[in-house]
Amino acid sequence: MYSLYLKGLSTDNQELSEIRDSFNDNGLSFTNVFDSYSNLATLSKNAIQAEVDEKIRRANPTMQNVNLICHSMGCNLGVLAAEQSKKNKSLVLISPEFGEYSTKEKRKMEEANIHPTFQRQYGEKETKISSDKIRSIIVFNRTKPWATLAIEKVDIPVLIIYSKDDIFIPKEYLENLAKRKDNVEIETINSKLHNPLTSLDHKNKTIKLIKDFQK
């Protein structure tokens, strides 16, 4: 099955290239859909779905059935695409952030006083936030509630992967989602990284979970 990748907001070209190489090393490949999220329209859910569908169509010119592999911010858009497109046959969500946080989860984030959209994937904080990133964060905030509603209508197989100690994941919400929906399953990685695909210690397990899911 043809795979498309919707990257996280902070994933730069070098990280994306390393992730792609890791997939190739494990007998998988993907086409990246978005280079940037900063120019996406956010006027309405229909408007952004139309843009996402067009980007996916361009990344899949032969109109094959696709598996969407999404990370963080990309999960919002992947869910919106999977809600309506008949070409999307499965959905992998790595570290999704849509949904409702519990009181305990909110407290942990407040105590940490950081958010993954404001830091590098390897833990190095940025000293300056670009205007493109600010616009991308606006897209993230706009699409999050839409994705929370849309996931309820997605009936294709969904695999959710997240690190056990990633404090930015609404784990209770996702676990309840998997209990309510037979098409949703969850796998966890023994890590605190927001993207386990960027770790030498955890990327192979993450890719194996994706590979097994696609069989």
| pLDDT score at 94 | 98
| pLDDT score at 181 | 97
Contacts 24+ apart (CB under 8 A), 12-21: 15/121, 15/195, 15/198, 18/198, 19/197, 19/198, 19/203
Spans of all domains in the chain: 2-214
| pLDDT score at 13 | 92
For residues 37 and 139, the answer to whether their CB atoms sit within 8 Å is: yes
| pLDDT score at 121 | 39
End-to-end CA distance of the chain: 9
User: With a cut of 70, which residues of the chain have pLDDT below it?
Assistant: 1, 114-129
Q: How does DSSP classify residue 7?
A: -
| pLDDT score at 142 | 93
Tokens 């695409």 found at: 81
Edge to edge, the sheet with strand 66-71 lists 31-32, 2-6, 66-71, 88-94, 158-163, 184-189
Backbone CA torsion sign across 183, 102, 189, 120? positive
Rounded Cα distance, 75 and 56, in Å: 14
Kindly state which CATH superfamily the domain 2-214 is placed in. Alpha/Beta hydrolase fold, catalytic domain (3.40.50.1820)
| pLDDT score at 123 | 42
pLDDT digits (tens, 9 = 90+) for 26-67: 999 999 999 999 888 877 999 999 999 999 999 999 888 999
